[in-house]
A and B are shown apart, each in its own frame.
Chain A
Amino acid sequence: MREKATTIYLGPQHPGITGNMMVRLKVMGDTIVSAQTEVGYLHRAFEKLQERRNWLNSFTLMCRFCVPETDPMENLYARAVESLDNIEVPERAKYIRVMVLELARIATQLMWYAGQNGSLGLYTMGQWSIGDRDYILDLFEQLTGGRVYHMYQWPGGVRRDLPKGFKDKVLNTLDYLEKRLKDYDDLMFANSIFQKRTQGVGYVPKESIIEHGVVGPVLRGAGIRSDIRIDEPYEVYDKLDFEIPTQEGSDIWARALVRRAEVRQSIRIIRQVLDQMPKGEFNTKIPNPMKWRVRAGDTYVRAESGRGEVGYYAVSDGSIHPRRMHLRGAAYVHAITLLENILPGQNVADVSAIMNSLGTCAPEIER
């Protein structure tokens, strides 16, 4: 009897999907024959909304592009506007920003630990890492006044200086996390189930990587050493000493190892930042937001998020509203074009794990 392909709809509501999107799978038995992504469940028209707001209050939309990792987006907006309007940012603010960005990177990877393992049925890991992520959110709360949506980096610098005793709190948290990473290794990376479910799974060929413009841990997991923090250093990354970890496998396992190493590098960066952070101003006052006309022009800025490069294109026509804003996120290419290309031939049970390892973030796809 000839087997007939069955269509399976994964999502838009599914615990294995990071955010509301759908993948329509055609399967023969357990093997995927073709995959088609469908998005449109989360479209909030942020880019369009920004055109109707002024140059200050459109910054509050940035953090909503990607809920688990809000800070690189805020950083992009701030830098885009600063570059358009020639705003000088105090050195201290740059250090604070890097600290925030790296804390955010750790928080994102802890979230990824949970998602990656959850997609394979290893729920204990998720409970640990999400719990530990809360310590970082505590830090964010003390620093910015918010746990998830920080709305902290804005054009000119950051909104508030470090609270009293904050450095020590960060160092304590980093010490704790470093200890915990050992536990993570034992539970996750040493775990033969995890290894077997990830090694050789979700392979991305090098041609696809170039073809689709793949970035971040997926790119580095394929052995290509590329990171915006090194390639085009922003803030004070050029003054910091850190490594860009790479792996060769280009599968879920390789990407996991890259992320594992990145957490350690972030801790290393934050320690240096706290050590080098100068005293002084943390913000350059922007003009009255109701009348602020940013100089006409356009700019494209890039930053390295936990999922890879994010870029932001900003156009000003010299009015009090942004003329056109566009975000280029990592998730768009990874979770739409690349995913559709690499899923055929994979096992249907691995789809969630693959999506997680690609850094899928549905809110960022749709903006």
Chain B
Amino acid sequence: MSFFDLQGTLKPLTALKQFGKKPHTLKDIPWKKREASDNYRGLHFNDLDECIGCGNCSTICQNAAIDMINIEGIEGKKGDSGLRPRVDNGRCCWCALCVEVCPTGSLSLTKDYIYITEDPDAFLWTPGVSNPDGEARKSYVSTHELSINEFNRVPMPELEGKERIKSFAEVVLGYNEEQAREEASRCISCGICTEVCPDHMHIPEYINAIAAGNDKDAVKIIYDNNPLPEMCGKVCTRRCEDVCAIATRGDSVAIRWLKRYATETAATADITHEIVNPEIREANGKTVGIIGAGPSGLTAAYYLALRGYDVTIYEASAKAGGATMYGIPKYRLPIESLEKQIGYIQSIGVKINFNTKVGKDISFKEIYDKYDSVFMGVGFPDAWPLGVDGDDAKGSMQAFRYLYMINSGEKVDIGDKVVVVGGGNVAIDAARVSRRFGADVTILYRRRVEDMPADWEEIEGAEDEGIHIIPQGIPTKIHKDDKGHVTGIEYLKAEMVADDKGGRPRPVAIEGSETILEATAVMAAIGQMGDYSFLPKEFEDKIKIERGRFIVNEKQQTGDPKVFAGGDAVNRTADAISAIADGFRACKAIDEYLSK
């Protein structure tokens, strides 16, 4: 190469043709804010109404840039922690993983990327509050399809409808290990469920343990505040699942089935004892008498026994479990399962006197005087009659009584056409049990199917088994033959009328719409009530009863400081998990009362 290279000198000069051209990176001079792309990851926006404050965004954030804070005007409620994310823009790296994992899809990133302020604290950005108009600027969003969350539940294996009605074999077959791990892995551990559970069970913790393959740890965690978890794992009303964060856009995590899976890994009472390995304190010489071996009584007994109390339960029936033993059909809760759990409770030193009805075999006064404290978990043993003309006919019965008799091994003549009146779990149970005895079963309910308080899975199960549901029917009369036996039930069709006060719509009978359903048995499943005849007058005055229920304080303590109460006879929700929560609370309160 020569020292002077003509081409190498002249060619670069062609660059001069660019002279005077506008730079393409700055198109508008004076400078104008450039609009970001439709996919841009700019400042956060949060739909405050859609957000449930689960905190998943905060959990995934690698830079700890997101805090969950209280915001004025947003209160926590069922299924909403009341907290909302606040982003530290100084820490955020705009990876948008918070958006990807948001179960509700409320969080997004916007096209806005310039934010200038003199306020040194303004780097704390509360999406949705800092930019209330951000909805229109949304760019990076997580749709249902794009979301990283797994919205579909692992299906629960069940017996076929036709197969089921042949016997009382358990319908739900339970997850196997692989299914349980997969289902548990869907949980985002937000803990919104814990708040709603009456017993505040440690749901995220035990699901985490299952997901990690530590079933024994899960069982230990579960037994921390529930001594009948397998029962809950099978039949709990599971309000936790109603509020599950994943359920905002998909199927809730099967919390109940996961609890069932974990507890079923402990096959016997002895294995349960070995896994839970409870620390039982030395006997403290104090005694507690418990009336009723239902969920609340058993719970109080278990945790009091762990704390060193000498606990004796008085149970009127031949078996413990209360309504869970006698009210729930065996295809939902097999007797062996319940007996295993009760066996474990007995194994730690809880004494149960069966077939001992308080007020008949032993007086309340005797128990009151004998023990340092008394807990009453007496439940609602009686059911409401239908209260229509002719409900004294033979074959007209209360569904709850019917279930009790069947579960006690008695035979009940129901014929081949059964009508169950009601829409709760008892109604469905009675219907499905009757179906297993070969009857044609119809459920008559005042409101719409979607208004039925029964578990949706139970309703679906009933339909699968061939049970017919007649919604919006108000029973008016039971027809009977000469011998006084039920021949049918008459009802009026109803229309739903909106409630002026904003309540749920009411059924109003349509005049002239009388219909008669042929029936050999009619079962009323319209509610239960208490029986407090065992209480002597002097105690009844002290332990206050209002509207059929004991009045207790927040510690489950009645008007008599020595007497505590829980379960259906106290709380309106009338489910097992509330009863367990009552028993657990009462245990702590009795411990406190007797430690003074």
Binding site for B on A (CB under 8 A): 53-54, 56-58, 60-61, 124, 128, 131, 134-135, 138, 141-146, 149, 151, 159-160, 163, 183, 186-188, 190-193, 195-196, 285-293
B62 touches A146 (CB 8 A): no
Contacts of B149 in A (CB 8 A): 288
Please pick, from A61, A134, A163, A290, the residue contacting B60 in the complex, using a CB distance under 8 A: A290
Contacts of B9 in A (CB 8 A): 192
For residue A18, give the distance in angstroms from its CB to the closest CB of chain B: 21
Contacts of A289 in B (CB 8 A): 60, 97, 101, 148
B15 touches A145 (CB 8 A): no
Residues 176-198 (chain B) with a chain A CB within 8 angstroms: 184-189
Contacts of B188 in A (CB 8 A): 288, 290
Contacts of B139 in A (CB 8 A): 145
For residue A73, give the distance in angstroms from its CB to the closest CB of chain B: 14
For residue B203, give the distance in angstroms from its CB to the closest CB of chain A: 14
A187 touches B12 (CB 8 A): yes
- Which one of B34-42, B316-324, B428-436 contacts A? B34-42
Contacts of A188 in B (CB 8 A): 12
Contacts of A146 in B (CB 8 A): 40-41, 94
B15 touches A187 (CB 8 A): yes
For residue B98, give the distance in angstroms from its CB to the closest CB of chain A: 10
Contacts of A293 in B (CB 8 A): 212
B62 touches A57 (CB 8 A): yes
Task: Check if B20 is an interface residue, CB within 8 A of chain A.
Answer: no
Task: Check if B502 is an interface residue, CB within 8 A of chain A.
Answer: no
Task: Check if B211 is an interface residue, CB within 8 A of chain A.
Answer: yes
B97 touches A287 (CB 8 A): no
Contacts of A56 in B (CB 8 A): 60, 97, 148
A288 to B5, CA, bound (A): 64
A160 touches B15 (CB 8 A): no
Contacts of B148 in A (CB 8 A): 56, 285-286, 288-289
For residue B177, give the distance in angstroms from its CB to the closest CB of chain A: 15
Could you show 29 A-B contacts with beta carbons less than 8 Å apart?
Answer: A56-B97, A57-B62, A57-B95, A58-B62, A60-B93, A60-B95, A61-B62, A131-B25, A141-B39, A141-B40, A145-B37, A145-B40, A145-B140, A160-B39, A163-B38, A186-B11, A187-B14, A192-B1, A193-B8, A195-B8, A285-B150, A286-B148, A288-B148, A288-B149, A288-B188, A289-B60, A290-B189, A291-B208, A292-B185
Contacts of B212 in A (CB 8 A): 291, 293
A159 touches B100 (CB 8 A): yes
Contacts of A160 in B (CB 8 A): 39, 146
A141 to B139, CA, bound (A): 12
The residue of chain A having its C-beta at the shortest distance from the C-beta of B190 within the complex is: A290
A186 touches B97 (CB 8 A): no
Residues of B in contact, count (CB < 8 Å) = 47
A186 touches B39 (CB 8 A): no
**Interface of B, helix, strand, loop or mixed by DSSP:** loop
Interface string of B282-316 (1 = CB under 8 A from A): 00000000000000000000000000000000000
The residue of chain A having its C-beta at the shortest distance from the C-beta of B59 within the complex is: A290
B60 touches A57 (CB 8 A): yes
The residue of chain A having its C-beta at the shortest distance from the C-beta of B10 within the complex is: A190
Binding site for A on B (CB under 8 A): 1, 5, 7-9, 11-12, 14-15, 18, 23-25, 36-41, 56, 59-62, 93-97, 100-101, 109, 139-140, 146, 148-150, 184-189, 208, 211-212
The residue of chain A having its C-beta at the shortest distance from the C-beta of B12 within the complex is: A191
Contacts of A159 in B (CB 8 A): 100
A287 touches B12 (CB 8 A): no
A288 touches B187 (CB 8 A): yes
A98 to B39, CA, bound (A): 20
B1 touches A195 (CB 8 A): yes
A163 to B36, CA, bound (A): 14
A54 to B1, CA, bound (A): 59
A142 touches B37 (CB 8 A): yes
For residue B205, give the distance in angstroms from its CB to the closest CB of chain A: 13
Please pick, from A53, A145, A187, A291, the residue contacting B185 in the complex, using a CB distance under 8 A: A291
A360 to B208, CA, bound (A): 45
A142 touches B38 (CB 8 A): yes
A141 to B212, CA, bound (A): 38
Contacts of B24 in A (CB 8 A): 131, 134-135
User: Nearest 9 pairs between A and B by C-beta?
Assistant: A192-B8, A190-B11, A192-B5, A145-B41, A60-B95, A57-B62, A145-B39, A142-B37, A191-B12
A191 touches B11 (CB 8 A): yes
The residue of chain A having its C-beta at the shortest distance from the C-beta of B39 within the complex is: A145
A124 to B12, CA, bound (A): 10
The residue of chain A having its C-beta at the shortest distance from the C-beta of B62 within the complex is: A57
A190 touches B185 (CB 8 A): no
Given contacts A145-B140, A151-B95, A159-B100, contact A288 B12 (CB under 8 A): no
B109 touches A145 (CB 8 A): yes
Select the residue from A53, A145, A190 with max chain B CB neighbours within 10 A: A145
A131 touches B100 (CB 8 A): no
Given contacts A131-B25, A160-B146, A163-B38, contact A145 B96 (CB under 8 A): yes
Contacts of A135 in B (CB 8 A): 24
A57 touches B97 (CB 8 A): yes
Contacts of A292 in B (CB 8 A): 185
Contacts of A141 in B (CB 8 A): 36-37, 39-40
Select the residue from A131, A195, A289, A291 with max chain B CB neighbours within 10 A: A291
Given contacts A160-B146, A287-B150, contact A144 B39 (CB under 8 A): yes
Contacts of A60 in B (CB 8 A): 62, 93, 95, 97
For residue B45, give the distance in angstroms from its CB to the closest CB of chain A: 14
The residue of chain A having its C-beta at the shortest distance from the C-beta of B213 within the complex is: A293
Contacts of A144 in B (CB 8 A): 39
Contacts of A53 in B (CB 8 A): 62
A57 to B96, CA, bound (A): 10
A286 to B150, CA, bound (A): 9
Contacts of A134 in B (CB 8 A): 24-25
